[in-house]
Amino acid sequence: MPFLEEGRPDEEPRLRIDLPAVAAFLRRRFWLIALVMLACIALGGAYAFTAQPKFAAVAGLIIDDPQTDAGRLGTGLVESAESRTAIETQMQIIRSQEVALSVVDALDLVEEPRFIPNRPDVLTGAVGWLRTSLRERLDAAFQAEAPVAGRTGGQAADADPPLSPRERAAVTLRANLSVYRLGSSQAVEVRYEGNHPEMAAEIANAVAEAYVRNRLEARFDAAENAASWLRARISELQGRFSETARQVQAFRAENEIVETGGGRGLINQQALSAVNERLVTAASETAEAQARVARIERALAEEDYAVESIDAGESSVISELRARWLELAEREAERASRLAEGSPALEAVRREAARTEDAIRAELERLAGRLRTEAEVARAREEDLQDEMARLIARSNETAEAGVRVQQLESEAEVLQAAFESYLRRYTDVIQQQSAPFLTARMISPALVPLAPTGPRKALILVVSAILGGGLGLALAMLLESFDRAVRLPRHLVEAGIPALGVVPLVARDKAFRSDSSDGLGYAAAAPGTPFANGLRRVKAQLAQGLTEGKGAVIGVASISPGEGASTVAGNLGRLFALGGTTTLLVDANLHTTNLGHAEPGDDPVRRLSALGSEDLIERLRDPGENDPTATQSGADLFASKRMKAFLDEARERNEVTILDLPALETVPDANAIAPFVDSMVVVTQWGRTDRPALKEMAESLRAHGATIAGGVINKARLRAMRAHGHRPTDEGYPLRRGRTAA
């Protein structure tokens, strides 16, 4: 936007609002914004002063918290819909179609004339008429294009069924009905806005009463539905509980799952425990018998006849023989110490000891055989107990698996029993609620007949219309501003890459303008004190700075489009240069029209201005040997020829300044063709008409063809409008000295 500017390069990047630019924008778009605002105010006023007055009646309701009902026992199925957190839901019920239909039936609003608006406002009527007309035209167009079969069958099947008068009345009632909650309390207000005060009060009270009845009937219906549902569920749960209990007993009998009582577990578990104890005892006995056999066998193998490891309880004979053997061993030792070897007494003792050892060995072998038999019996008994243990373990595992299923069945039976008892309690609560219902909503303040209308609020409508109109006008102005690409300020020339030479204001074609024989080409000389002449003098002064003393200069003057005033600027510049004492040649270089052909040298009182018309220029540039005079009429070909270069060189020698009035840049390529031969180019733009992108493109084209652009001139400028764009015009002169000859 023109009033947004970026910060300085050394600052943090940000956009700043240029307040002077904003003020200038508002000044130049003031009438557009004002007109849009006035139009919106007029529309708002038309609505405010033609709309039918509206009257609002308010009825108060309070929605009780179901938790505070004294007769409520337990938790009912409809409690959650009436809790404090459901007040918004209750407000939606008040606005519902069901309540509206109840009110329509109760007050017979279909036939009530006070319920229907008797005169719409201007805007509503106009919009309704336009909408109806447009709908009829569209329906007629579609019906004309649709096939006959589609209109008779398919179209009727796809269309929505029309609303009945009763439903339309309910829709109208809901459109004018509003429900508000008072803070965080449980009180709500039912507000109805109608065309008649008495009708508004009646409808507000009827809505409140219909809602209370609706809630009471809903509680009755909900309780009845809940009771029916609970009865079915109780019967179902009772049957499932009985069936599950029978399954438990049958499964116990089938899998021999018998409880012993007293918390001691199942019978097979007790038998397994007893067998386990007996198996432990048998294993101990087997181990002990095997140990005794091993001791005797070790004594026999080692011929240890002392056999101290054998208890006396196992064999009394062995104990006696061992004592005898020990005694003989002591006697043998005593005699061996006294008698010589081979003595009969010593040998007798030894023989007796040998007989005793044989007796001990025989007794040990007998005892070993007996103990082996006992060990085998003990091992056989242990194996029998192990087999019994394995059988009982397998049976116990089967019983354990069956016990898991029994526990599942028992748990299911317990759940069913708990659900049955819970539903039975709820059924009792519902029966009590049916016999003693409690209201959860009641009216606390009936609606009174309003004494004054609540709408339309004329002052507010006008203020809002003015604000909306101002915003709409401002948006429209900004939109137009964003699309405005015309040259209006000198900086627009600079942005296009062209130095700004000056601003030439628009001159009304008054008597003084028309009295000049040159039809405006000499107006700057005829009216030297005017802003027009001052603006051209500024242009002339800047062009004179580029002249070299003693050397002629050729200046081309061209506009972007025809009619932008290039000929006027060229003619007046030629006369101003001549008035300043500069020998000037003014050439009408537009070979397609005649703009300067009537300017004769005799028109200049100083006799320093010469003029050459387009026809004369063509004659000078045409090849004398050309038989067809029309073959060389192309301006671009003539301007690019050597004869044109020679003509300009001759003009530089004879004149200090040669001004060429060239054709428009966007019409023919003549200016581009002659660009390399001229010393500088002056681009003339028209204020509010010349397109800035086109100007930039033309400037680049001229430079590409070798032209040196001295600058641009904004012609036909409106100074007052330029002030609105934030530009301070110059060269307006002194008001008391306007019209004098001296500039």
Quick one: pLDDT at residue 259? 58
> How much of the chain, in percent, has pLDDT values that exceed 90?
27
CA distances from 540 to 395, 465, 543 (A): 128, 53, 5
As a whole number of angstroms, the distance between CA 641 and CA 621 comes to: 8
Rounded to an integer, the average pLDDT of 446-450 is 92
The most confident of 55-59, 302-306, 391-395, 734-738, by mean pLDDT? 55-59
Q: Based on the number of CB atoms within 10 Å of its own CB, is 694 exposed (0-12), middle (13-18) or buried (19 or more)?
A: middle
As a whole number of angstroms, the distance between CA 253 and CA 650 comes to: 139
Place 360 in a pLDDT band, splitting at 50, 70 and 90: confident
CA distances from 577 to 222, 659, 715 (A): 105, 10, 19
Residue where the block lists tokens 């180019």: 681
Q: What is the 3-state secondary structure (H, E, C) of 302-368?
A: HCCCCCCCCCCCCCHHHHHHHHHHHHHHHHHHHHHHHCCCCCHHHHHHHHHHHHHHHHHHHHHHHHH
* pLDDT per position as a tens digit, 107-122: 999 888 888 765 566 6
CA 473 distance to own-chain centroid: 31
**Range scoring the smallest mean pLDDT among 123-132, 375-384, 693-702:** 123-132
Quick one: pLDDT at residue 210? 92
Q: What is the DSSP letter of 110?
A: G
CA distances from 641 to 137, 329, 591 (A): 67, 167, 15
As a whole number of angstroms, the distance between CA 203 and CA 109 comes to: 9
Quick one: pLDDT at residue 699? 92
Quick one: pLDDT at residue 42? 92
- Rounded to the nearest integer, the mean pLDDT of the chain is 78
> How much of the chain, in percent, has pLDDT values that exceed 70?
76
Each domain of the chain, given as residue ranges in start order, spans 267-435, 485-623+632-737
Quick one: pLDDT at residue 4? 54
Quick one: pLDDT at residue 70? 39
As a whole number of angstroms, the distance between CA 424 and CA 428 comes to: 6
The most confident of 155-164, 259-268, 580-589, 594-603, by mean pLDDT? 580-589
Quick count: other Cβ atoms within 10 Å of Cβ 460? Answer: 12
Give yes or no for residue 191 having a pLDDT over 80. yes
| CATH topology classification for 485-623+632-737 | Rossmann fold (3.40.50)
Task: Specify the pTM.
Answer: 0.53
Quick one: pLDDT at residue 412? 76
The most confident of 104-113, 241-250, 415-424, 678-687, by mean pLDDT? 678-687
Give yes or no for residue 10 having a pLDDT over 60. no
Place 511 in a pLDDT band, splitting at 50, 70 and 90: very low
Rounded to an integer, the average pLDDT of 621-646 is 72
As a whole number of angstroms, the distance between CA 473 and CA 450 comes to: 39
438 or 26, greater pLDDT: 26
Rounded to an integer, the average pLDDT of 377-397 is 76
Determine the residue type at 126: A
Quick one: pLDDT at residue 586? 92
**680 and 708 in contact (C-beta within 8 Å)?**
yes
529 or 663, greater pLDDT: 663
The residues near 156 (Cβ < 8 Å, ≥ 6 apart) are: none
314 backbone dihedrals φ, ψ, rounded to 5° = -80, -40
Rounded to an integer, the average pLDDT of 116-140 is 71
394 or 631, greater pLDDT: 394
Give yes or no for residue 605 having a pLDDT over 50. no
Quick one: pLDDT at residue 740? 45
Quick one: pLDDT at residue 366? 80
Please provide the size of the chain in residues.
743
Beta pairing, strands 55-63 & 15-17: unpaired
Quick one: pLDDT at residue 69? 45
201 or 273, greater pLDDT: 201
**Range scoring the smallest mean pLDDT among 172-186, 196-210, 410-424, 439-453:** 410-424
Give yes or no for residue 668 having a pLDDT over 80. yes
Quick one: pLDDT at residue 599? 45
Place 245 in a pLDDT band, splitting at 50, 70 and 90: confident
As a whole number of angstroms, the distance between CA 192 and CA 59 comes to: 9
Place 449 in a pLDDT band, splitting at 50, 70 and 90: very high
The residues near 508 (Cβ < 8 Å, ≥ 6 apart) are: none
**704 and 677 in contact (C-beta within 8 Å)?**
no
Give me the half-sphere count of Cα atoms (radius 13 Å) on the Cβ side of residue 521: 23
Quick one: pLDDT at residue 86? 72
Give yes or no for residue 17 having a pLDDT over 60. yes
Direct distance between the N- and C-terminal alpha carbons of the chain, in angstroms, rounded to an integer: 40
Quick one: pLDDT at residue 357? 77
725 or 43, greater pLDDT: 43
675 or 127, greater pLDDT: 675
What SS3 state is found at 301? helix
CA distances from 270 to 252, 396, 502, 516 (A): 17, 10, 124, 143
Give yes or no for residue 302 having a pLDDT over 70. no
Quick one: pLDDT at residue 736? 47
Quick one: pLDDT at residue 312? 45
As a whole number of angstroms, the distance between CA 623 and CA 428 comes to: 124
* pLDDT per position as a tens digit, 30-80: 899 999 999 999 998 888 888 888 899 999 998 875 544 434 444 444 444
Rounded to an integer, the average pLDDT of 482-494 is 90
